[in-house]
Amino acid sequence: MIDAAALIFPDSQKNMGNDLSDEQHHLPRLAEYTLVLGLIHLNISSAFRIYLKGDEPYDAIYTSKQLLVTINERYKQIYHYLNVIDGELVDDKRKQSYWVKDMGRLVSQEIPEIINDYKSITFALDDYDNLQLKQMTKPGNLAIHYDKNA
């Protein structure tokens, strides 16, 4: 992944230790997050355009695969999945996700007046993990991992 913070704030990488103030920490992370969202938008828009303008049936199949990959992998990058280990839900990776670790800290410490919006978006992200991602597991495995048992 492109290190947007290093591109926009080249001197900030020298100070990425614990001695950074919250403002110095959040600004490069917000810039990086903005770039990631832009890339997600471009990936989805490009795949959708190919789908709409495709001449062959395979164009639709290929772009569906690209959309599945983009949605699943970028969701994982931003918020991460809950994993089931020995029958129990484990959220260790989610706690380290950008949404929880960085945005949660920014909202709670710097702009608490939007905490309800943050919670609402978090609820929608949880709901998406529970419903849509589970429905995409089988087609995703087939399209992305080329399961042997088609």
Q: Say how many domains are in the chain.
A: 1
pTM of whole model > 0.85?
no
Q: Distance between CA 82 and CA 85 in Å, rounded?
A: 10
Q: Distance between CA 8 and CA 11 in Å, rounded?
A: 9
Is 34 inside a domain boundary? Answer: yes
Structural domain range at position 71: 4-145
Is 115 inside a domain boundary? Answer: yes
Tens of pLDDT along 104-143?
Answer: 888 888 889 999 999 999 988 888 776 656 666 565 556 6
Q: How many CB atoms lie within 10 A of CB 32?
A: 21
Is 150 inside a domain boundary? Answer: no
Query: Among the ranges 22-36, 39-53, 118-132, which has the highest mean pLDDT value?
Result: 39-53
Is 87 inside a domain boundary? Answer: yes
- Report the b/e string of 51-76 with b at 16+ CB within 10 A: beeeeeeeeeebbebbbbebbbebbe
pLDDT of residue 23: 61
